[in-house]
A and B are shown apart, each in its own frame.
Chain A
């Protein structure tokens, strides 16, 4: 004991358990309210998209499909040869051979030819359409109105997102427009982004966490990487435009390798887009990978060093295998962000309307978000329905990627 006995002060408690509980409950209500607001926002978004992605559509045909019946077989059931006969008899010779030149009929599938017949001869046009909600709740009203106004027309309940939508290329006619070109463009772009940013990001992260000391210069680099992760994406677009599209044009257009025709080629290619998005996600991948590497306990490193292993042996055998789930999760989340990016691609000049599939890194391209943007800016309602369907495709793609991230995390998560 130190010194003389101490004087006990007067100690009094106001036992306000009830007030404290009430105060706690109030906060719970506030938290619950915030959560509900978030859920409402999400639900509205989903409802809005799904509402637009299917519903009743009234079609009117310019040509009469019944007149195209061949040997008593309606066009829906005709074979490819029959469809080609229909096509050649209703189109001018020039138009027919032009179709053959853009893509030989031998290479086209039966469904492709059918689409051509519908596009060139039957010429279905959407005259009216309803949203899903209206289609479900006011079904009788709609049928009656259609019978009265368009006695000749075809009323059909259409789900805008269907296998044809995924299979078909972009078109100026909403009836036969699809997202294939955009999905392929997105996949190509993301592929290049991953190839570029993943190895680079992980290697930089290993260097910065394991090798770089705590020097003044390294701290500046680290701060810059952290800040770069927050730079608006459009700025990366401008960077990509200056570097990849302009300065490195011979490389990104493919003329350097002699793959493309130098007279028409330019740098606005998938390669430029992939590299630009790669720059965009590089800081994110580095930061995520650094976090994952730092999360590996030091005791493992010490165990390695204590056995006389070199730094690289320890990093390669123990640090990286234990960090890899975290690195992959971070990378996938970064890639999800890249898939949804629109602004930088607009800046570097993605084509908004393109009818042909991208064939390689030096192709012109469009991507899903750009396709969505382009469709929503069209005046016709139907393109907005298409946009809603494309948004669902994009969401599905993102959810798949996130699911993969969760799976990886669960599969490889370790305890130490």
Chain B
């Protein structure tokens, strides 16, 4: 099956297999008009690991996440300064097409948002958009298996994606993102709209996927961050309500021996 998938990869952004860090931000500032939502973030995201971004509401976690695949551009008045590097290349360089960026760096949203089409079409559409020429049935099955949804939906592929439960819808959205063969998957509180059982399914899935994908996840739930992630970045707001990176470390380290007082206060529930 790998050969079908190789076909989809567009190689305009060069991939270096040796790099340990897939993504890197350099002095990244994100603004909405005059308001600075994120200030001076420098962080490196390691390949095939799960990196969690935590912090109090309104500290710009989602804004930062969306800047990794240029989705924040869809918000009127947003702009950035600094650099976001993907395999060492600035994603915001003038010759980089956001469409290609989003192909390589997929996204799963907070609220499950399957297309009002059949389950099959939900998966197939993205691949078709990128000119997929291989065996579509194979790709659909492979993507659904990766998202641990195949067994539940293999007999109802022609049903509407909206007929599924919330948790299944979210896994469908993950499968849909996987089908276009991204390298990185951004997840914006993917389980916050789900019940505890569905949340567990998603968390297991994230662990599983991290063998093959680099995953960035924004979460409100510190237990979730502790359970699924390899690295955790803690963000907080400064006096201007602008988010900044307080501490970024190995998840174990950050949750057991935080170096910063603020981090300690936050993870022990003293604020936030």
Q: A308 contacts which chain B residues (CB < 8 A)?
A: 99-104, 106, 126, 129-130, 180
A300 beta carbon closer than 8 Å to chain B: yes
- Residues of chain A lying within 8 A (CB to CB) of residue B111: 299
**A310/B99 in contact, CB under 8 A:** yes
* B104: nearest chain-A partner, CB-CB: A308
Q: How far is the CB of B7 from chain A (nearest CB, A)?
A: 15
The 0/1 profile, CB within 8 Å of A marked 1, for residues 92-120 of chain B is 00000001111110111101011110000
State whether B115 touches A300 (Cβ < 8 A): yes
* B176 CB-CB contact with A under 8 Å: yes
Whether, in the assembled complex, A306 has its beta carbon less than 8 Å from a beta carbon of chain B, the answer is yes
B125 within 8 A of A: yes
Considering the complex, give the chain B residue whose CB is closest to the CB of A308.
B103
* Contact call A214/B113, Cβ cutoff below 8 A: no
- Judge if A168 is at the interface, Cβ distance under 8 Å: no
The answer to whether B113 touches A303 (Cβ under 8 A) is yes
Q: Is the CB of B116 within 8 A of A302?
A: no
Interface size on A, residues (CB 8 A): 21
Is B257 in the interface zone, CB < 8 Å from A? no
Tell yes or no: A395 within 8 A of B by CB: no
Q: Which residues of the partner chain A approach B126 to less than 8 Å between Cβ atoms?
A: 307-309
CA distance A302 to B114 in the complex (A): 11
B69 beta carbon closer than 8 Å to chain A: yes
The 8 Å CB contact of A307, one of B76, B100, B162, B180, is B180
| Chain A nearest Cβ from B185, distance in angstroms | 10
Across-interface contacts of B100 in A (CB, < 8 A) = 308
CA distance A190 to B116 in the complex (A): 34
Asked if A416 contacts B162 (CB within 8 A), the reply is: yes
Q: Indicate the size class of the contact surface on chain B.
A: 20 to 34
B74 contacts chain A at the CB level, 8 A cutoff: yes
Q: Please give me the residue from chain B that is nearest to A310 by CB atom.
A: B99
- Binary CB contact string for chain A from 276 to 316 against chain B (1 if under 8 A, 0 otherwise): 00000000000000000000010111110111111001000
Query: Is B177 interfacial (CB-CB < 8 Å)?
Result: yes
Task: Answer whether A318 and B115 are a contact pair too, CB < 8 Å, given A302-B74, A303-B173.
Answer: yes
Contact status of A306 and B116, CB under 8 A, knowing A313-B129, A317-B125, A416-B162:
no
Q: Is A415 an interface residue (CB 8 A)?
A: yes
Q: By the criterion CB–CB under 8 Å, are A306 and B115 in contact?
A: no
Q: From B106, B125, B173, name the one whose CB has the most chain A CB atoms within 10 angstroms.
A: B125
Q: How far is the CB of B104 from chain A (nearest CB, A)?
A: 8
Q: Decide if A414 touches B116 in the complex (CB within 8 Å).
A: yes
Q: Which partner residue on chain B sits nearest A314 by CB separation?
A: B129
Proximity bits, B173-184, A CB within 8 Å = 1, else 0: 100110010000
Chain A CB within 8 A of B71 CB: yes
Most buried by B among A214, A299, A300, A308: A308
Look across to chain A and name the residue whose beta carbon is closest to the beta carbon of B186: A306
How close is A44's CB to chain B, nearest CB, in angstroms? 45
Indicate if the CB atoms of B71 and A309 lie closer than 8 Å: no
- B113–A299 contact, CB under 8 A? yes
**Contacts A308-B180, A309-B99 given: A300-B113 contact, CB under 8 Å?**
yes
Q: Is A322 an interface residue (CB 8 A)?
A: yes
A416 touching B116, Cβ below 8 Å: yes
- CB atoms of A306 and B162 under 8 A apart: no
Taken together as a complex, chains A and B put the C-alpha atoms of A308 and B114 apart, in Å, by: 15
A302 touches B106 (CB 8 A): no
Q: In chain B, what residue has the closest Cβ to A213?
A: B76
**Which among A302, A309, A317, A322 is the interface contact of B109 at CB below 8 angstroms?**
A302
Q: Could you tell me if B76 and A214 are in contact, using CB atoms closer than 8 angstroms?
A: yes
B102 to A305, Cβ gap below 8 A?
Answer: yes
> Given the complex of chains A and B, what is the CA–CA distance between A318 and B121 in angstroms?
12
Verify B115–A303 contact, CB threshold 8 A: yes
- Shortest beta-carbon distance, B160 to chain A, in Å? 9
Residues of B within 8 A of A317 (CB): 125, 129
Per-residue interface assignment for chain B, residues 53 to 78, with 1 indicating a CB less than 8 Å from any chain A CB and 0 otherwise: 00000000000000001010010100
Chain B residues contacting A415 (CB-CB under 8 Å) are: 116, 162
A313 nearest in chain B by CB position: B129
Chain A hits for B102, CB < 8 A? 305-308
Query: Which 5 A-B pairs give the minimum distances between C-beta atoms?
Result: A308-B103, A306-B107, A307-B126, A299-B113, A308-B102
